[in-house]
Structures are given as C-alpha cells and as structure tokens.
Amino acid sequence: MKDKKSFEKRVSESRFFKDAKRKAEGIAKNPELLNDLIQKADKKALEKGRSVLGEAWDSLDTCFRMLRAYARGDYRIIPWKTLVAIVGAMVYFIMPLDFIPDFIFGFGFTDDVALILWTVSSIKDDIEKYAKWEKTIVQNIDVKD
C-alpha cells in the first residue's frame, strides 16, 4: 500500500501533472473547452474500459458528471482548487506522453489511474457533496414525473 501511495505522490508531483493543471485553469473557465475535454476523456475511458481503469472507473465517471453539471451551469459549488484538480487529471489522462507514456504496453495507464485515484482521494468531500446534490436532483425529477 505504501508503494502505491508513493507512486501516486510521484505522479501528482510530476512536471506532467503540473503542466496539466496549468492548462486546466484556462479550460475550467471556458465551458466549450471543458465540454470538449470531457468528451475526449470520456471517449478514452470507454475505449480503455473497466479492465484498464480498474477501481478508478466509478470515480472517473462521477467526475465526468460533476464537470458536465459545472459546464452547464447547474452545479457551481465546486471550490476552484477542486475544479482545477479534476480538470488537470482529465488533461493528464488524455495526454499520450506523460509520466509513463500511454503507448507502453501493459504499463502506460498505470500513472493515469494512480493520478485519478490520488485526485479523487484528495477531493473526496467535494465529490460526496456533488453526489448528494445529484441524488437530490434525480429524486426531484422522479417526483415530478
């Protein structure tokens, strides 16, 4: 477990993730760019599937929904730091050349998954708040129908 945490920390402190977070700041301010990023990351996640993404799959899916709600203007109670972290992780995820390049068979997505898991664990409270909000919205829609 310590090795996994150490690897997640190394990836999260890499120059690749720092570059991704710098790009994320501009993307997060522009709903069109944000939607384009979500679409690319979602497509890549679906192509790679659950077997490659493992335990990061559900967390990634929740992050996609939260970012879509943010881009639509439906959910704006995301702290800026959280928003940049999630968008940065998405930017990193779609970058083919990062800490471990994606083309390295069998290992190329190890860093992507580690970074997603690290990001999700660092913003867990904000993800839980979003999930509660989302559940309330879905319940309200069910009641109206």
Q: Alpha helix (H) ranges present in 13-123?
A: 15-28, 31-53, 56-72, 80-94, 110-122
pLDDT band at 142 (very low <50, low <70, confident <90, very high): low
What's the mean per-residue pLDDT of the chain?
Answer: 85
Summarize the confidence of residues 86-99 as an average pLDDT: 88
Contact between residue 109 and residue 48 where contact means Cβ atoms under 8 Å apart: yes
Predicted TM-score (pTM) of the model is: 0.84
pLDDT band at 1 (very low <50, low <70, confident <90, very high): low
pLDDT band at 6 (very low <50, low <70, confident <90, very high): confident
Contact between residue 65 and residue 86 where contact means Cβ atoms under 8 Å apart: no
pLDDT recorded at residue 13? 87
Indicate if the alpha-carbon torsion angle 49, 8, 119, 135 is positive or negative. Answer: positive
For the chain, give the percent of residues with pLDDT over 70: 88
Q: Give the range among 21-35, 41-55, 57-71 with minimum mean pLDDT.
A: 41-55
- Token readout for 12 is 């999260």
Contacts of 112 (CB under 8 A, 6+ apart): 56, 92, 93, 98, 102
Q: What is the pLDDT of residues 98-138, one digit of tens each?
A: 777 777 777 777 888 888 888 988 999 999 999 999 988 87
Contact between residue 62 and residue 130 where contact means Cβ atoms under 8 Å apart: yes
